[in-house]
Amino acid sequence: MATTVSGRERILIADGDPLVRRFVGALLANNGYDVHLAEDGESALRSAVSLKPRLLLIDLVLPGKDGFEVLHALKGEPATARLPVLILSVKDREEDVVKALSLGAEDYVSRPFSTQELLARIRKILERTG
Amino acid sequence: MRLLMIRVVEGVGGFLALLTIGIVINKALREMGEALDRRRRALLEPLVFEYLGAASSRPLRDSLPKSPSRRDRRLVEQILLEAARLVKGSTRERITAAFEGQGAVREAIRALGSARWWKRADAAEKLGLMRSEAAVEPLVQLMNDPEPEVRIRAARALGLIRGKTSIRPIVGALADPSRWSAIRVAEILISVGSEAVDELLAAFDTLPQNGRVSALDVLGRIRGLRAIGLMKRCLLDPHPDIRARSAHGLGLIGDPGTAPDLIGALQDQEWPVRAMAAKSLGRLGDPSAIPHLREAMKDRQWWVRCNSGEALRHMGTAGLEALTDMLISDDPYARHMAVAQLEEGRVIDQFVAELTSTDAQRRAAAIRFIDKVTAAARIDDRTRQAATSAQEGVRQALSNILKAPAQPGGGGTR
């Protein structure tokens, strides 16, 4: 799992909502991360393999494969099993959070979210899994 | 005549041609406008997002091009409104500050004075999303608008802005004579949550009866622990609607300490109060209520019996045992309800399945239980099972039980 030549850590954002992709993408890019976007589950899986990001930030509601399926597939594949995943979702039911964490997600942030809190959590995950 | 016809055809043709040209030009202008919007938005959006993601207190205007056009101001407002649903905390506050700095709040407040009600309603909705404290007073004024939809949007906006001064007028609107409006206002207060509790408590005694009923409903659904004292007092109110709603609310809040009050309410002279008290006791799950719920299963009102039976069914083994005991009650209403609840809880099916158990003790217990159910004079389901069960042993055992004369009190035929 890589950082870019410039030393910026690579983060893949997978979300079905283009506004969320653009907003979170801009937020992370403005904070020094190398951001890549995926709009559905399948492209998230492909990009996770090809781009080798340091972190995947993913929504549970995605076109095609949903976030749980993507998470399950990533953790079952040796090449991506250690990729840290942070869930950023509008779903905030207890059972969704528990399911995501038990499937191997590192953290869970529900929307609406605090930008500063999201950045702090991302930093913490990257430190922990660095 | 022919000349006149030619003129008419020419006139209609010319009109249609002009109309077509007009439509084409209009479409072209609209598409140009949309393309320009997209281009400008692609330019403005990163600037707005950069402003929102920054930790500094630099105002939005410093991030935007100097002297923005009317189009740019509209697009910035649109981007901010869309981003508002994604974020909370300090970023949400920056969105409010941006709206205020851009003059959007001032414009929306001005639109509240429009002669067209839908413009007033739209402006109120926007102000709710902008969440500016500056909008509270004008929105409070709008709560007296002659148009109900405008009043509701104003209430919803105040609910989004929150704060004491916002919530107080919403609580007052619970007394709106329109039932539909009162329901929507109640939903708004529920979405405000615990912040609304103190205002509801403070205003309670000033509300008319329908407003107090709605307030109790809201307090129960918010699960406001601070409302318990008020609800206990309201169980003694002269109005049965208030007593019933209090009994319901106490069940929603779920404090076991209120069980004695609800047990007392099982003796209320009005059946809706007794029914609500029974339901709430089921929610509390306090075993001390079991003997009282057993008695309430003899009530002359079906709702009271039904809620009491349901409450017992949800109270674990002790509740199910109480229902089983009620199968041999001297009261036929209680017996029937006990059977209905044991059916609902699939308890009877479990015993029916045990009729063919290889364990003699379990089989005997099942026969004794089904005997009691039969004696309770509710045999329709057992008759059906005796005819249709997939297991021959079950069909045989049930047929034997049903053939024997049922003894009141479950005297046991085997």
- Reported as a single tens digit per residue, the pLDDT across A68-110 is 999 999 999 998 999 999 999 999 899 999 999 999 999 999 9
- Can you tell me the mean pLDDT for A24-30? 94
Q: Residue by residue, what is the 3-state secondary structure of B316-381?
A: HHHHHHHHHHHCCCCCHHHHHHHHHHHHHCCHHHHHHHHCCCCCHHHHHHHHHHHHHHHHCCCCHH
Are A26 and B82 inside 8 Å of each other by CB? no
B46 chain-A contacts, CB cut-off 8 A: 26
- Are the Cβ atoms of A115 and B89 closer than 8 angstroms? yes
Instruction: Measure the CA–CA gap between A55 and B366, rounded to whole angstroms.
Output: 59
Residue B409 pLDDT: 44
The reply to whether the predicted model has a pTM over 0.90 is no
Helix (H) or strand (E) holding A12: strand A10-14
| Helical axes B360-375 vs B347-354, angle rounded to 10° | 130
CA distances from B88 to A17, A115, B299, B307 (A): 18, 8, 52, 42
> A63 preceded by cis ω (within 30°)?
no
Structure tokens at B397: 């055992």
Query: How does B177-199 read in b/e, with b if 16+ C-beta sit within 10 Å?
Result: eeeebbebbbbbbbebeeebbeb
For helices B360-375 and B380-388, angle between their N-to-C axes, nearest 10 degrees: 130
- In this predicted complex, what is the ipTM? 0.88
Tens digit of pLDDT at every position of chain B (414 positions): 788 888 899 899 999 999 999 999 999 999 999 999 999 999 999 999 988 887 777 888 888 888 888 899 999 999 999 999 899 988 988 999 999 988 899 999 999 999 999 999 999 999 999 999 899 889 888 888 899 899 889 988 988 887 767 788 888 888 776 666 778 888 888 988 888 899 899 999 999 998 999 999 999 999 989 999 999 999 999 999 999 999 999 999 999 999 999 999 999 999 999 999 999 999 999 999 999 999 999 999 999 999 999 999 999 889 999 999 998 888 888 988 998 999 888 888 888 888 888 888 888 888 888 888 887 765 666 677 777 777 777 777 777 776 655 444 443 333
H runs (alpha helix) in chain A: 18-30, 41-51, 67-76, 94-102, 115-128
Confidence at residue B392, expressed as pLDDT on a 0 to 100 scale: 76
Cα(B52)–Cα(B45) distance, rounded to whole angstroms?
10
Average pLDDT of the segment spanning A30-52: 94
Closest chain A residue by Cα to residue B51: A27
User: B89 and A20: CB-CB below 8 Å?
Assistant: no
- Chain Cα centroid distance, residue B50: 38
- Select from B46, B82, B89 the Cβ nearest to the Cβ of A117: B89
CA distance B243 to B123: 40
Could you tell me the CA-to-CA distances from B363 to B136, B210, B398 in Å, in that order?
71, 56, 12
Confidence of residue A57 (pLDDT cuts 50, 70, 90): very high
CB nearest B89 (choices: A22, A111, A114): A114
What the block records as the tokens of A98 is 């528990």
Distance from CA of B88 to the nearest CA of A (A): 5
Region of B316 on the Ramachandran plot (φ > 0 left; ψ -120 to 50 alpha; else beta): left
How far away is chain A from the Cα of B409, in angstroms, using its nearest Cα?
46
Tokens at residue B305, please? 């019996």
List chain B residues with CB under 8 Å of A117. 89
Q: Running DSSP on this structure, what letter comes out for residue A57? A: E
* C-alpha torsion B264→B267→B269→B275, nearest 10: 90
Distances (CA, A) of B188 to B14, B157, B184, B242, B299: 56, 9, 6, 21, 37
For B50, the closest of A19, A30, A114 (CB atoms) is A30
| Residues of chain B contacting residue A113, judged by C-beta atoms under 8 Å apart | 86-88
Tell me how far apart the alpha carbons of residues A44 and A70 are, in angstroms, rounded to a whole number: 8
From the list A22, A30, A116, which residue is nearest B45 (CB)? A22
Contact: B83, A26; criterion CB under 8 Å: no
**CA A74 to CA A85: how far, in whole Å?**
9
Those of residues 18-47 in B touching chain A at CB distance below 8 A are: 45-46
Question: Quick check: B205 and B177 in contact, CB under 8 A?
Answer: no
Tokens found for residue B4: 């006149």
Contacts of A22 in chain B (CB under 8 A): 45, 49
* Cross-sheet strand order for the sheet of A85-89: A34-38, A10-14, A55-58, A85-89, A107-110
* Cβ proximity of B368 and B410 under 8 Å: yes
> A30: which chain B residues are within 8 Å (Cβ-Cβ)?
49-50, 53-54
Task: Report pLDDT for B180.
Answer: 65
Cβ-Cβ contacts under 8 Å, A31 against chain B: 53
Measured between CB atoms, does B192 come within 8 Å of chain A?
A: no
